[in-house]
Structure 1
């Protein structure tokens, strides 16, 4: 009984909501204006730059140097 009442209520309110008059749309006048783009690029070449390496992971150089292995680190068969 409760489900039947719920379905009837949903269809009733849905029908009432769709029966509203939404045709009152306000029309707005638009103005077209031209856009002017001025871009000036001052590019100076510096020859005293040093190359820098960009690593994918943070602290990769430190991790590489700290993860060294010696011959005595290997497991031995007993």
Structure 2
């Protein structure tokens, strides 16, 4: 679920691929978003499009602790 006031931080798989300089299809094939420790999607379970919190993803990719989502 996307928290109020955080919609500007939402990222799709295409956004994650672009951020890491990888083609979308290569990103889908490599599945780096499924490795242990990668932030969980904020989209509803079973939703067609996986959405991720940009603040959490940025922290993970820079090796910093992943912050919890606000309640």
TM-score, length basis structure 1:
0.15
TM-score by length of 2: 0.16
Greater fraction of residues in helix? 2
Hey, which of these two has a bigger chunk of strand by percent?
A: 2
